Structure formats: C-alpha cells, structure tokens
Amino acid sequence: MTVKRLRRTAECPVDNQGVSAPREFMSEITQQNLYLLLPFKVSWVADMLAEDEHISTIESIRRVYSSAMYKQLEQESTKRWHEGPVSLYQTI
C-alpha cells in the first residue's frame, strides 16, 4: 500500500500524521470554532453508548446530545473538549 504525503502549505499545514487542517482551526480553540470538534467527540461517545447499552445509533446520539456532559462539552470555558471519548463517556 502506498501512502501519498501531503505537501505543507501556508494555507493548509500538515501535522505529523499527514493530516491537513485549515490554519485558523489550528491556532486556538474558541467558543466560535468549538463546534468543529463536537461531531467527532459525539460520534465516539455515541458508538460506545450504543454498544454498551444495546441501543440504536440514533438513540445513542439523542442521549449524548441531551446529556449534561454535552452541555458542558459545548462550552469552551469548561475545557471538556480536551478530554478523550472514554473520559467523556464515563460521565454520561
């Protein structure tokens, strides 16, 4: 298998795994751009919840979005976005 390496550019820098991201996203996390991280966090937590509770993915997503954990996660000031999916899942 051949892995194509992405070139580093000023408009779209590449991190050490070869993944590119917009420069404004990489500078800092603010309340205005936090929403870009949330779908990834929610999907990881929802997958774990669906598997552990034997419920549908849709139901697990509903539970995550209606949880107190998500209310904290969507507030940048709590810094919960730093936490991994296991830590977030444990607080649902």
Give 11-60 pLDDT, tens digit per residue.
444 444 454 455 554 579 999 999 999 999 999 999 999 999 999 999 99
Question: Quick one: which of 26, 31, 24 has its CA closest to 77?
Answer: 31
Q: Rounded to an integer, what distance in angstroms lies between the CA atom of residue 5 and that of residue 69? A: 37
Q: Which residue has the tokens 């936490």?
A: 83
Structure tokens at 49: 């919840």
Q: Rounded to an integer, what distance in angstroms lies between the CA atom of residue 87 and that of residue 69? A: 10
State the pLDDT at residue 27.
76
**Torsion region of 79: left, alpha or beta (phi above 0 gives left; psi -120 to 50 gives alpha):** left
Structure pTM?
0.68
